[in-house]
Amino acid sequence: WLPDAMAGPTPVSALIHAATMVVAGIYMVARLYGVFFNGLSIGTGNINALAVVGSVTLLFGALLAFVQSDIKKVLAYSTVSQLGYMVMALGVGAWTAAIFHLFTHAFFKACLFLGSGSLAHHIHSFDFKKDMGGMRKTMPRTFWTFVIGTAALMGFPLLTSGFWSKDEILAGASMLGGNGEGYTFALVMGLMGAVMTCAYMTRLMWYVFWGEPRGKSAEHQLHENGPRIVVPLMILAFLAITSGWTNLPEKVFGISVPSGWALRFEHFVEPTDAYFPSAANGFHHPEFVAWIALVSMLAIAVGAGSAYLWYWRGLGPHGLTERNRFARAGYRILESKYGLDILYTDWIAGSFKGPIARSANWFNQNVLDGVVNAVGNGTRRGGEFVYRYIDQGMVDGAVNASGAGAEGAGEILRKTQTGKVQVYGAYLFVGAALLAAIFVIAS
């Protein structure tokens, strides 16, 4: 669902989809680490399901990033891949490395997402194959912040935060694997993921910032955005470099790091770590391993170099998917996201939606409609009773009776008005006599 969620506003993508909401699962596993690590151990504990799931996920997401033409979807699948690194780290016992990578990833991935929003601000498109190209010349500040974010995501050695956190994960996999614990596969898959990360991000950089402007970027007079957009990018780019300094190893290639800089992040999370000291045999912070760092640098060179030769130099086997049926089939599998949408909508959801729809229809026809009809009939009959016996019988009867009484009284009084003087004189005489009689009796 993460790539589909990229349709939302770019600041939301940067804050929620890159740095907070999507890593909630990682945080939960880390916070309940003893439960997950011990509960998901396979066999005698030589392998952990977390390491398997994480390793598969990091390659799963990285491969899908190669077939995307929407810049935010490339970054979304990159996020999926980086989440895989974090889960793999938790699986091999490198707890601090996982949380450290979660921490550094938030800065450089948010920088990249906001950078994509800056690029699309004028052209209103995220399709880098159709509507971008040559944008390093027109938007230099966005370009350099994007370069720094990309370098951190690749794990550019020594200078970026991504190197220190990702290298710590790989070191954890190598140290446990080297002790015969069965995590060499995690190291190999982690290095493969590093190669692919560098390759698809180099591809993205080529399409966005090099070459000639295409589509909407050629139609508009592009210029750099204002400080409200660029300044946050600069801050995040700065943190994409410096956040890695919060957990430097004690020694780097044999050179001691000042004690004030070494393992600061490790000490920061130490109170939490104390709740499960035996979850991974007490192993949470691997030391700096020089050969792992060198192999990681080689992976960066292989990934970025391959993409450079393919796109910049044009030496790749272009048209391979048209000429080779296996390449075409592989591309279609990736384009369809391994068929997971079909699996969800047609197989899983399809097997449920028919019975659910029929059950809902029966409930609607026999229960809801019955209740609605009963209420309607009862209301109609109640209205008829009120109209016939109360409104017409009582209310209208009282009104009509008062009218008839007034009319009868009027008829009686009308007969006394004859218009003859002698009759009125007689009324006057009789009235005076009655008053005199009443006066005499009363006195």
Per-residue HEC secondary structure of the chain comes to CCCHHHHCCHHHHHHHHCCCHHHHHHHHHHHCHHHHHHHCEECCCCEEHHHHHHHHHHHHHHHHHCCCCEHHHHHHHHHHHHHHHHHHHHHHCCHHHHHHHHHHHHHHHHHHHHHHHHHHHHHCCCEHHHHCCCHHHHCHHHHHHHHHHHHHHHCCCCCCHHHHHHHHHHHHHHHHHHCCCCCHHHHHHHHHHHHHHHHHHHHHHHHHHCCCCCCHHHHCCCCCCCHHHHHHHHHHHHHHHHHHHHHECCEECCEECCCCCECHHHHHCHHHHCCCCCCCCCCCCCCCCHHHHHHHHHHHHHHHHHHHHHHHCCCCCCCHHHHCHHHHHHHHHHHCHHHHHHHHHHHHHHHHHHHHHHHHHHHHHHHHHHHHHHHHHHHHHHHHHHHHHHHHHHHHHHHHHHHHHHHHHHHHHHHCCCCCHHHHHHHHHHHHHHHHHHHHHHC
Question: Does residue 439 form part of some domain?
Answer: no
Question: Residue 304: is its pLDDT beyond 80?
Answer: yes
* Res 292: pLDDT: 84
Query: What's the pLDDT tens digit per position in 209-243?
Result: 988 888 888 887 888 899 999 999 999 999 999 99
User: Quick one: pLDDT band at residue 423, thresholds 50, 70, 90?
Assistant: confident
Domain interval for residue 277:
4-335
Same-domain pairing of 277 and 376 = no
pLDDT at 283: 47
- What pLDDT sits at residue 408? 87
Q: Are residues 182 and 233 in the same domain?
A: yes
Would you say residue 179 has pLDDT above 70?
no
| 96 and 207 inside one domain | yes
Note whether residue 440 is domain-resident: no
pLDDT tier at 280, thresholds 50, 70, 90:
very low
Task: Decide if 443 is inside a domain.
Answer: no
Residue 185 domain-assigned?
Answer: yes
Out of 283, 308, 335, pick the residue that ends a domain. Answer: 335
Whether 294 is in a domain gets the answer yes
Q: What is the mean pLDDT of residues 151-175?
A: 89
Residues 217, 248, single domain; the answer is yes
Asked, for residue 107, whether it belongs to a domain, the answer is: yes
Reply yes or no on whether the pLDDT at 328 is more than 90. Answer: no
**282 in the same domain as 375:** no
Instruction: Determine the pLDDT at residue 174.
Output: 83
**Among 30-34, 146-150, 353-357, 361-365, which range has the highest average pLDDT?**
146-150
pLDDT surpasses 60 at 422: yes
Q: Are residues 138 and 50 in the same domain?
A: yes
In a domain, 125, yes or no: yes
Whether residue 151 sits in one domain with residue 126: yes
Pair (20, 42) in one structural domain: yes
331 and 365 inside one domain: no
Q: What is the pLDDT of residue 178?
A: 45
Confidence band, pLDDT 50/70/90 cuts, at residue 46: low
pLDDT of residue 375: 92
Output the pLDDT for position 261.
59
Task: Kindly state the percentage of the chain with pLDDT values over 70.
Answer: 89
Q: Are residues 312 and 269 in the same domain?
A: yes
285 shares its domain with 370 = no
386 or 266, higher pLDDT: 386
Task: Note the pLDDT of residue 285.
Answer: 56
Q: Is residue 317 part of a domain?
A: yes
Domain-terminating residue out of 306, 335, 364: 335
Counted domains in the chain: 2
Does the pLDDT of residue 173 top 70, yes or no?
Answer: yes
**Per-residue model confidence (pLDDT) at position 433:** 92
* pLDDT computed for residue 378 by the predictor: 92
In the predicted model, what is the mean pLDDT of residues 349-359? 83
Same domain, 356 and 330: no
Residue 50 has pLDDT above 80, yes or no: yes
- pLDDT, mean of residues 358-377: 91
Flag the least confident range among 96-100, 269-273, 295-299, 408-412.
Answer: 269-273
Per the prediction, the chain carries an average pLDDT of: 85
Which of residues 335, 364, 386 is at a domain's end?
Answer: 335
Give pLDDT, residue 175: 78
370 pLDDT more than 50: yes
